[in-house]
Amino acid sequence: MDRNEALAIVQSKLKQSRYEHTIRVMETAIELAKKYNVHVKKAELAAIFHDYAKYRPKEEMRRWIESTYLPKDLLQYHHELWHGPVGALLVEREVGIEDREILEAIHFHTTGRIHMTTLDKVVYLADYIEPGRKFPGVELVRESAWEDLDRACWMAARNTISFLMSKNQPIFPDTFHAYNDLTKKVRAN
């Protein structure tokens, strides 16, 4: 699938501001993929489709989680986490992308996971640091992204966990697992 076809598909599913975010995530993912020797086309497609299910109704996403192989414990956490796993499922079923690496990068782009692939990290980080993002700490992560992919992902996970804790929000276990795994990698370097 070429870029223009993929973008046309997602544009019909997103608000204009989210589509513009998607373009910035795609551009950032392509640059990170080049820097870290990741398959550029896979990074491009995963980035384009990362928010494919973002605006699906909550009840529809709930039904997909309840009726498929997706982890049921997602339902115990904020619905903002649902669009990654549900999006990966729908990208496979509705768009026809079957590449497991692309689908997993979409699935885990919000939470991260233990043993993230380099493609997972590129999409996770591109979504976090794209130029339109403005929040405390993002500039430091942006700077780190071009020097050390693991450190930048670790910083993003740490910031996410700190933010959720400051709001007394529960934290999805995959995010803790990602943080712990990345902590070991950062310490080893």
Mean pLDDT over 152-156 rounds to 98
Give the dihedral sign, CA 149/45/135/81.
negative
pLDDT higher than 90, residue 189: no
Residue with tokens 């999006």: 87
Instruction: With CA atoms as reference, report the closest residue to 128 among 116, 142, 113.
Output: 142
CATH class name, domain 3-188: mainly alpha
Q: Give the model's confidence band at 109: pLDDT under 50 very low, under 70 low, under 90 confident, else very high.
A: very high
State pTM to two decimals. Answer: 0.96
Q: For residues 182 and 175, is the Cβ–Cβ distance under 8 A? A: no
- Structural domain spans, the chain: 3-188
Q: Give the model's confidence band at 52: pLDDT under 50 very low, under 70 low, under 90 confident, else very high.
A: very high
Give the pLDDT of residue 126: 98
